[in-house]
Amino acid sequence: MKKKNLPLKEIFLEDERFRISYYFSLEKLILSIQKVGLLNPPLVALRDKHFILVLGWKRVLACIKLSLSSIPVFVLEEEDDLKTFLAVFYENLATREFSLLEKAEILRMLKKFGEEEKSIVKHYLPLLNIPSALSNLESYLAFSQLEPEVKKAIHQKDIPFSSVKLLVGFTHQERKLLLPLLLPAGQNKLKGILEDLKEISRRNDTNPKKILSSKEILDITGSEKLSPLQKTDKVRLILRKKRYPVLSLREESFDSLLKKLRLPKTVKVKPSQFFEEENFTVNFSFENSEELKANLLKLQELSSKKEFSSIFKFK
Amino acid sequence: MTKSKYIPQKVFVEKRSFDFPLTKRILKNVGSVPSEVIDDSKELLEDIKASKDAIGAGKKYLLITRQRGEFVKPCPCTPGYLGCNYFILNIDLNCPLDCTYCILQHYLTNPLITVHVNLEDLWRQLDIFLQRKKHRAIRIGTGELGDSLALDHITENSMDLISYFRKKRNAIFELKTKTVNIKNILKIEPAPNVIIAWSLNSLRIARVEEKGAPSVEERIDAARRVSERGFRIAFHFDPIIRHPDWEEGYKEVIKKLLSTIDPARIAWISLGSLRFPPSLKGIIEERFPRTKIIYDEFVKGKDGKLRYFKPLRLELYKKIAGFIKDWGREKVPIYFCMESEGVWSEALGWIPKGKENLELYLSSPLGLSVT
């Protein structure tokens, strides 16, 4: 491996065959280069008379931002792409954690450069903290094929494996419809939307696009009055009712019974989770003994009312 | 997999398991199936696990090994629900059948069909276990981590087990199967404390979701033959699965069952609705992409497993228990597997006072001698 000074314009950045990272911030690195210079030269290799970048995308892009004309580089004298890529892989493996999308890129490249699937499953998946199973390799390879805007959302929202796996199950068009609903959602809501949509469509032998294009959902997504988060919440609710009709109906009946009972605002009556257990919980808060007594009195009055006994039908 | 008797593509024998009599018997019974002696199964397991469908791939191979731990274990049941004090006997692991809902897909880390051949250790452990429990009736069976009879034409274990338990009068021993592999059972003298049980389902679920298993009609016919031979028999409607026309589907099977078999010969019928740990759902989706059974209204129960929303479970249980009561002339003990006291009370009208009470309810009609 030789070290040399290379004009930045001589690095052929269009060739991204060894690039595994796409989403990063350059600010701190730019500051570091400004203060102390480029301490670790990037690694390049010669392909078709071009110097292509093997390792150090962040460093090179930072140097371009700083308008440097040339930088020190190491030139790797290796012609085999797989062996060259392994330099990228092991150097990064030793120094940092990979994101989900980086793992997907690594696995895609190992396969592209000729590593056998069996060997990838056996040797590389454990190194990436992925359980050794062909199905996992297939999942990650599918992740690497996702559209750039979806990948960007995965990176920005740090979407976990289970939700990305759900995303992969939808078509490109469906993901396009889903993306505006997913961006404002937290992790649980996001997973819930994807899971419910997939399961409703499988159960009802319909396709997700048809569900997302239904009038009730289009009315929400097309509304100018609702914020993106409100749209997400409303669509989530519609999907949940479709996915769990009996449970949703029971929850609604319970809520409407509570409304009829006119409980004090400070008192909350809750069933067990999913009405699975036979008990109910009463919660109230108080600031002094008068409030405590008033709440207890109200509860005593309520418990003797005929309507209150209807609550036990929800056991 | 076919509905005929299971024959592995290859038998792997761990070196230290080669000299056991059961190993010799298995190798004789598999005939021309190739076999290989291996130092240990680690590498083989790694290879199988790297395949696209490790669970399906594992079913093609039979591994002969030794049980290094305990053969007898209490049935884990499930936290927060009423148990029945059952004990499980782990001789075979895994099952050549390929049911969509099978919990073993999630539970076992070893996908190979595995037989433990150190039977001397089994008998010794059982002697100690039954001696310790001599003051109570014990219900014990082999059908938890594998089908009790699916490998019986290869292992012939049923005959040894029945002969052993015949003399243990404080134990009720149950063999639980979906197969019609009863040749050995019909050869041996029945024992009053040995129960041969079948898992049943609606015809549709059996046909679509129980790949490799004989039809329900064949199972009922096998049960009839075993009953006529003099064995007590039992049935497990587990998992009960909601599907279009489920009510008619289960009614049809129960009518057929209780008009074919004398209800007085039935030791018990258990009911359990489909339930599974959330992680099994992904496995089922991967392995059975066309199934719809996992997309019903499941909610997380007290044990963290997904089960039908309670009103749906109650509807299933009330109907099915009603069919059994009607056609069984109220003679057949019914119990729930892994259900809450609320469900017992509402669906059957009574609640066992703890698992010992349930154990007594199921074992006392069999007239065991407990010292």
pLDDT digits (tens, 9 = 90+) for A270-291: 999 999 988 899 999 889 999 9
Task: Say whether A247 and B299 touch across the interface (CB within 8 A).
Answer: yes
Interface-testing mutation among B45, B48, B52, with chain A (most A C-beta atoms within 10 A): B52
| Closest CA in chain A for residue B80 | A277
Strand-pairing partners, residue B294, are none
Q: Name the helix (H) or strand (E) containing A140.
A: helix A134-144
pLDDT for B362: 82
Q: How would you label B72-102 residue by residue, b for 16+ Cβ within 10 Å and e otherwise?
A: beebebbeebbbbbbbbbbbbbbbbbbbbbb
Q: CB distance from A161 to chain B under 8 Å?
A: no
- List the 1-40 stretch of B: residues with Cβ below 8 A of A: none
**Under a CB-based contact definition with an 8 Å cutoff, are residues B63 and B115 in contact?**
yes
pLDDT for B1: 38
Interface-testing mutation among A130, A195, A276, with chain B (most B C-beta atoms within 10 A): A276
- List the 48-77 stretch of B: residues with Cβ below 8 A of A: 49-54
Q: What is the rounded CA–CA span in Å between residue B330 and residue B353?
A: 21
pLDDT for A75: 96
Amino acid at B279: S
- Complex prediction ipTM: 0.88
The 3-state DSSP class for residue B130 equals: helix
pLDDT, tens digit (0-9, with 9 covering 90-100), for A297-311: 888 888 888 888 888
Q: What is the rounded CA–CA span in Å between residue B217 and residue B219?
A: 5
Q: Which residue is it, tokens 């109906």?
A: A249
pLDDT, tens digit (0-9, with 9 covering 90-100), for A3-44: 999 999 999 999 999 999 988 889 999 999 999 999 999 999
Q: Which of B197, B7, B175, B187 is nearest to B96 (CA)?
A: B7
**In this complex, which of B51, B309, B341 lies closest to A246 when CB atoms are compared?**
B309
**In this complex, which of A122, A133, A315 lies closest to B54 when CB atoms are compared?**
A133
| Closest CA in chain A for residue B313 | A276
A contacts of B310 (beta carbons < 8 Å): 274-276
Residues of chain A with confidence (pLDDT) below 50: none
The 3-state DSSP class for residue A150 equals: helix
Q: What does each C-alpha distance from B301 to A76, A196, B104, B277, B292 come to in angstroms?
A: 58, 19, 20, 10, 20
pLDDT for B26: 98
DSSP state string for A76-106? E----HHHHHHHHHHHHHHH-PPPHHHHHHH
Q: CB distance from B46 to chain A under 8 Å?
A: yes
Q: Which of A124, A183, A113, A194 is nearest to A161 (CA)?
A: A194
pLDDT for B370: 54
| Closest CA in chain B for residue A198 | B295
Q: What is the mean pLDDT of each run of 10 residues along chain B (371 residues)?
A: 79 96 97 95 87 92 95 84 88 96 92 96 96 89 94 97 94 96 97 96 98 97 97 97 97 97 94 96 94 97 94 97 91 90 91 82 68 52
Q: A202 vs chain B: nearest CA distance in angstroms?
A: 7
Amino acid at B315: E
Task: Say whether A276 and B301 touch across the interface (CB within 8 A).
Answer: yes
pLDDT for B139: 92
pLDDT for B2: 39
The 3-state DSSP class for residue B266 equals: strand
Token pair, residue B135, equals 């003051």
On the 0-12 / 13-18 / 19+ scale of CB atoms within 10 A, B31 is: exposed
Q: What does each C-alpha distance from B289 to A193, B188, B285, B295 come to in angstroms?
A: 20, 42, 5, 12
Q: Which of A192, A138, A189 is nearest to A168 (CA)?
A: A138
